[in-house]
Amino acid sequence: MTGSGGLLGVRPELLGAGAQRFVDTALADLEPLRPLPMALLESLGVLLAEDVVAPAAVPAFDVAAVDGYAVRSNDALGDAQWSDDPSKHHADVRLHVIGDLTAASWEPATVSAGASYTVTVGTPVPAGADAIVPGDATDGGLASVRIERVPSPGEGIRRRGSTVAAGAVLAPAGTRVTAATIALLASAGVDSVLVSPPPRVLVAATGDELVDSSRPGAGPGRVVDVDSLGIAAAAREAGAHAHRVGIVPDEDEALRVLVENHAHRADLLVTTGGTGSGRTDVLRRLFGLDDLVHFETLRMEPPLVVGYGRVGPTRMPVLCLPGDPAGALLGFELVLRPMLRRLAGASQVFRTAVLARVLSPMRSRAGVREFRPARVSGYDAEPLGGGEAFLTGYATANALLAIPEATTDVPAGAEVPALLLGN
């Protein structure tokens, strides 16, 4: 990593060897979901699975680009007074107005010598006409019109195919469909597209101590379920169809029912809690049997104990995140989001990372790789709350600073890898 503000690239080599190995293993086990056709409006926010090619030219024929009069440019010469500026060539010619045309006109029309048609924007240019004189260059006559400026051939006309040529690629594969994309495709007559479908994700929080956020007040033996709400929201923000199952008790049978009931309904199951090695960590004990799910402790701050494998009769992929909200959200950024991008067929699954100059000094615990929320502007980073305040800092952060294991003091002005959250 050299140079102030240097771009590290879309794959952040800032996770540490163990974490990177775990993520790579999970990604290698996943395949992009099978593409499916989708109605144009319904495709908002998903990725195109193939190039979308214009089936026809846009516009399909020459049309008026301004409101005015369709004329033969030679008819407007008259007693023209010429200028070095072609737009100021003065004319004083009167032409017959033989009809009115609009964008809805479909019958063939022809402009003969000495004649004109009134036209509106989008009107098919009548045969014989080679220019549209804008209304403000005329006297606005109804039966006849005085042309006050000589038009150039082609003036005021949008030529066939000038916006989009037939066969042109309107949007390449991998494009995330936006409102502008939909408008462009619709203009070319496209009504459906082949897309990589959004991954269907189930999110379940495990723990006998958990209660819904709607329950009044926390107390001994009661902890508000933050994880399933936060992870489901983050997955939706990443483009997935995420369904919050809610709270699952620490019971073998409850976990088995969870898998059996949802095995055919999801592309990925995400659980939080129970990843430790304690007596009450039922999830790790159940899923860890026969090595169905591989668990690994990643030396990070916030602490991150994760598991990945396949469970149930359909071998549904499952990602197990820790129960601590800070660790769960860090697990989303480092592990889950790349997995969702992989399933969605994205060519770039990792967020962008840059080197950022920190504006305030930081301290970090030795032996762990700390991810500290921050606000990055340009290549300057203002660290936010870490440790117990991670969740508060994360709520307003647009980046995560990665402080290496061997670093305990980061002075102001030092360069630190930053994972940008808004891309």
Q: Which of 319, 343, 367 is the last residue of a domain?
A: 343
- Do 185 and 205 reside in the same domain of the chain? no
- Do 130 and 268 reside in the same domain of the chain? no
Question: Given pLDDT bands bounded at 50, 70 and 90, which one contains residue 384?
Answer: very high
So what's the pLDDT on residue 291?
A: 66
Which CATH number is 171's domain given? 3.90.105.10
Residue type, 379: Y
- Do 223 and 311 reside in the same domain of the chain? yes
Q: Which of 149, 178, 196 is the last residue of a domain?
A: 196
The answer to whether residue 107 sits within a structural domain is yes
- Do 88 and 133 reside in the same domain of the chain? yes
Which CATH number is 219's domain given? 3.40.980.10
Q: What is the pTM of this model?
A: 0.79
So what's the pLDDT on residue 126?
A: 96
Q: Measuring CA to CA, which residue among 227, 213, 223 is closest to residue 332?
A: 227
Task: Give tens-digit pLDDT for 233-268.
Answer: 999 999 999 999 888 888 888 888 888 887 788 999
Contact (CB, 8 A) for 332 and 227: no
Which CATH number is 84's domain given? 2.170.190.11
- Do 146 and 74 reside in the same domain of the chain? yes
- Do 272 and 179 reside in the same domain of the chain? no
Residue 205: phi and psi, rounded to 5, are -100, 130
Residue range 182-189: average pLDDT?
Answer: 93
- Do 217 and 291 reside in the same domain of the chain? yes
Assess whether pLDDT exceeds 90 at residue 274.
no
d(CA 393, CA 64): 55
Q: What is the mean pLDDT of the chain?
A: 87
How many structural domains is the chain composed of?
Answer: 3
Residues 6+ apart with CB under 8 A from 203: 227, 228, 231, 232, 235, 242, 243, 244, 245, 270, 271, 272
- Do 236 and 252 reside in the same domain of the chain? yes
- Do 211 and 326 reside in the same domain of the chain? yes
Whole-angstrom CA distances from 276 to 119, 284, 288, 322, 421 are 74, 7, 11, 8, 28
So what's the pLDDT on residue 91?
A: 62
- Do 54 and 172 reside in the same domain of the chain? yes
Domain containing 113 equals: 66-158
The answer to whether residue 314 sits within a structural domain is yes
The answer to whether residue 311 sits within a structural domain is yes
So what's the pLDDT on residue 212?
A: 84
d(CA 325, CA 322): 8
Q: What count of other Cβ atoms lies within 10 Å of the Cβ of residue 104?
A: 9
The answer to whether residue 409 sits within a structural domain is no
The answer to whether residue 205 sits within a structural domain is yes
Assess whether pLDDT exceeds 60 at residue 405.
yes
Residue 87: phi and psi, rounded to 5, are -70, -10
Q: Which of 288, 320, 343 is the last residue of a domain?
A: 343
d(CA 155, CA 152): 5
Strand order in the sheet with 36-39: 36-39, 192-196, 47-48
So what's the pLDDT on residue 82?
A: 42
- Do 51 and 192 reside in the same domain of the chain? yes
The answer to whether residue 290 sits within a structural domain is yes
- Do 335 and 313 reside in the same domain of the chain? yes
The answer to whether residue 337 sits within a structural domain is yes
The answer to whether residue 30 sits within a structural domain is no
